Copies of this chain bind each other. A is one copy, B any other.
């Protein structure tokens, strides 16, 4: 019944408004004030989901969804999550389910190869990959490792002097992670970028900013560079930035949350130029890679830096395998101890579609975004704000209410940003079911 329900949901999805049209507080009025004492039949529950829940859903899987970034599902991703939930194991350490840990090795090495990551990031080299929930966790873990590495040199009392860098386009996940990690907000440098240079962080600006901080007695610790920023999919120049961070012994993390997946296509690989010089690299397979939420892939060159900061070893988790140091205990690579068997869904996606198809799916999305951008360019009421890098177009229109009107129609859902004072409509193609006709209709 549940599988049929979900199949019907996908069948009917285009009939629902993409952006939910309910009002705040709508649901509490429709549901009882307390849990039932006795069981309710699944028919009643499914009825309520159809009547009460679906109207309150914003349909991220709709072919008319062009908002934020995609969170693309697929049959294989879905089935992988179902298997993971069926097994329902807690792979916190190796012994608690060796297959969960070892399949993660294998899958992360496969995917790392697909991206052309150097051997130094793979288990077959001296690095390794780990599946986190989201980019927020990946940034937090690497930032904590970077913080502790630096404080080990300069003394823990200097935590208030650590400076962390990004551009004014860097995702807010960096500032959030820094706040959690106990760093000072005032020590965040959101270095200015410009439309004229496609909102890239320039190495020159970074160097100038760092010099001023060092002169002021502060300690540069961490740079988050981005491949595919949220506002405009800008790509920071990894190689030249890494040359600057190297001078100062800083950690450099590459956040390729959205655009990392495109780098499995050789024609996008150049955006990763210089990646061999960075400390860590992450992208979300649950964004534009057909794997259901959540699945953030993080590779690090020095797993020891992560585990030094994140390890715990209470008596009740001790076991011979861990003591032997022959195994990886992923609990020490992440914020949480418990972890789901996420690698199996990523493995199903890779095997069910194969590398060539995955590349082609992404290329089709890019082609649709290109098509949309051409349509925009052909109409002088609109302007393209920055050149398209991947499958997202950035559009300026004289009427700010246009976006709200479109979203209120329920026929499409797009979101906005503001860059250099320009109000921009973002049009991100990537929902698995989107076809040419949806893009034309959206236009």
Residues of B near A140 (CB, < 8 A) are 180, 335
Q: Is the CB of A6 within 8 A of B82?
A: yes
Residues of B near A81 (CB, < 8 A) are 81-82, 85
Q: Is the CB of B179 within 8 A of A335?
A: no
**CB < 8 Å: which of B25, B78, B293, B316 contacts A90?**
B293
Q: Is A182 an interface residue (CB 8 A)?
A: yes
Q: Is the CB of A40 within 8 A of B352?
A: yes
**CB < 8 Å: which of B24, B34, B42, B103 contacts A352?**
B42
Q: Is the CB of B99 within 8 A of A55?
A: yes
Among listed A153-161, A206-214, A240-248, A376-384, interface-contacting one: A153-161
Given contacts A45-B352, A60-B88, A110-B34, contact A20 B316 (CB under 8 A): no
Q: Is A426 an interface residue (CB 8 A)?
A: yes
Q: Is A150 an interface residue (CB 8 A)?
A: no
Q: Is A216 an interface residue (CB 8 A)?
A: no
Residue interface mask A287-314, B partner, CB < 8 A = 1 = 0000011100000000000000110111
Q: Is the CB of A99 within 8 A of B56?
A: yes
**CB < 8 Å: which of B37, B103, B338 contacts A355?**
B37
Q: How long is the Cα–Cα vector from A82 to B88 in the complex, in angstroms?
A: 13
Q: Which of A24, A292, A309, A418 has the most CB of B within 10 A?
A: A24
Interface of A is mostly: helix
Among listed A169-177, A219-227, A266-274, interface-contacting one: A169-177
Residues of B near A320 (CB, < 8 A) are 404
Residues of B near A20 (CB, < 8 A) are 95, 97-99
Q: Is A385 an interface residue (CB 8 A)?
A: no
Residues of B near A415 (CB, < 8 A) are 316
Q: Is A19 an interface residue (CB 8 A)?
A: yes
A189–chain B nearest beta-carbon distance, Å: 16
Among listed A131-139, A197-205, A363-371, A434-442, interface-contacting one: A131-139
Q: Is the CB of B58 within 8 A of A350?
A: no
Q: Is A191 an interface residue (CB 8 A)?
A: no
A157–chain B nearest beta-carbon distance, Å: 6
**CB < 8 Å: which of B85, B87, B182, B357 contacts A181?**
B182
Q: Measuring CB to CB, which residues of chain A are less than 8 angstroms from any residue of chain B?
A: 2-3, 5-6, 9-10, 19-20, 22, 24-28, 31, 33-40, 42, 44-45, 49, 52-61, 68, 71, 73, 78-79, 81-83, 85-90, 94-100, 102-103, 105-106, 109-111, 113-114, 124, 133-137, 140, 144, 147-148, 156-157, 159-160, 171-173, 175-176, 179-184, 230-231, 286, 292-294, 309-310, 312-318, 320-321, 324, 326-327, 335-338, 340, 344, 348, 350-357, 404, 415-418, 426
Q: List 15 A-B contacts (CB under 8 A).
A: A2-B83, A10-B86, A20-B99, A38-B356, A40-B351, A58-B95, A59-B89, A60-B87, A71-B88, A82-B85, A85-B292, A144-B179, A148-B179, A180-B309, A293-B340
